[in-house]
Amino acid sequence: MKVAVVSDSHDNVEKSRRFVELVNGMDVGLVVHCGDIISPFTMEVFKKVEAPLTVVFGNNDGEVAGLLKKFPEIKKPPFFMEIDGRKAVVMHEPVLLDVIPGSVDFLFFGHTHEIFVDRIKGIVVLNPGELCGYLSDHSTFAILDTATGEVTVKEI
């Protein structure tokens, strides 16, 4: 299965819309957002993703009550889930990187706005960078192939 992983959209609606358009044109079985959507109006954009969507809160998601009221499916990190028969953990801040749970195959995080792709203790560790492009001038997301563990970073 192909999984699109994105983070740190920070209310950049234009980049969020472009991401949704691109992902909807790909053979993606799941979309994971690692936090910092920020406002309910940006979450509305992500709800247009055709694949199943998993979202966790980030440290800048200031309208938590508003987001939860309208989108109760947003999870508190770390959020453990199964993807294509494998275990994954989704978080915003990379708090578990020093103590990666051995029971997961994939660890997704955001917060740093920097792309990070590595295999640590056999676990694919992935930060897709920032969708907003505010800090790096690059709007990025990643595609993970769960069968091979291969990660491709894409720029919008």
pLDDT digit string (tens) for 58-73?
998 777 888 888 898 9
Residue 97's pLDDT is what? Answer: 67
- CA–CA separation, 78 vs 87, rounded Å? 13
Q: Taking residues 37-46, what's their average pLDDT?
A: 93
What is the C-alpha R_g of the chain? 14
Residue 98: the pLDDT is 66
Confidence of residue 152 (pLDDT cuts 50, 70, 90): very high
130: nearest Cα among 110, 153, 116: 110
Kindly indicate the confidence band of residue 11, based on its pLDDT and cuts at 50, 70 and 90: very high
**Mean per-residue pLDDT for 21-46?**
96
Give me the domains of the chain, ranges plus CATH numbers: 2-155 (3.60.21.10)
User: pLDDT tens digit string along 75-130?
Assistant: 999 999 999 999 999 999 988 666 666 789 999 999 999 999 999 888 999 999 99
